[in-house]
Amino acid sequence: MEAFFGWYSGNGYEHFMIWNRMHGPYAPYYWTLILCNGFTPQLLWIKKVRANLLALWLISLVVSVGMWLERFVIVVTSLNRDFLPSSWGFYKPTQWDWAMFIGTIGFFLALVFLFIRFLPMISIFEMRTILPEAEVEE
């Protein structure tokens, strides 16, 4: 949709931004993003894929990579080409960029594990079966 709006806006800068994403130095990231977020979820139209737990897990991983690539493409391609060609440059992550990326993954995992530890998922059916006044029909 954003490619359509970039073209339909009639703004030359917006045209260049979309063209730069599709054909510029970061084009492989853009097309990988389209593959991950646009085409991979289309496999869910197949019933065998929806019923296979491993396939669903792999699709979710691919979509997660695609979502990370979306943020990467938005930020990096927006900043690597400025209005002045003298300001153009390429993004190369430093050790601090990698540390921040790995740290956010670690922080997310820590929060997930804390959530699982303090708010475990317990089936309501199981809770009903352990209550003395429960009448469970099987």
- Dump pLDDT digits (tens) for 34-77: 999 999 999 999 999 999 999 999 999 999 999 999 998 888 88
Stronger pLDDT, 10 or 98, i.e. the higher one: 98
Split at pLDDT 50, 70, 90, the class of 136 is: low
Nearest to 41, CA basis, from 68, 16, 66: 66
pTM over 0.85: no
86 and 97 inside one domain = no
The region of weakest confidence among 30-34, 95-99, 116-120, 128-132 is 128-132
73 and 49 inside one domain = yes
Place of tokens 């593959």: 35
Domain count for the chain: 2
Question: Does the residue 137 lie in any domain?
Answer: no
74 and 6 inside one domain = yes
Q: Name the residue range of residue 85's domain.
A: 2-92
Residue ending a domain, among 92, 108, 124, is 92
Calpha distance 126→129 (Å, rounded): 5
70 and 6 inside one domain = yes
According to the model, what pLDDT value does residue 31 have? 94
Q: Is the pLDDT of residue 7 over 90?
A: no
Q: CA torsion sign, 91 to 67 to 63 to 117?
A: positive
77 and 20 inside one domain = yes
Q: DSSP labels for 31-91?
A: HHHHIIIIIGGGGGGSHHHHH-HHHHHHHHHHHHHHHHHHHHHHHHHHHHS-SSGGG----
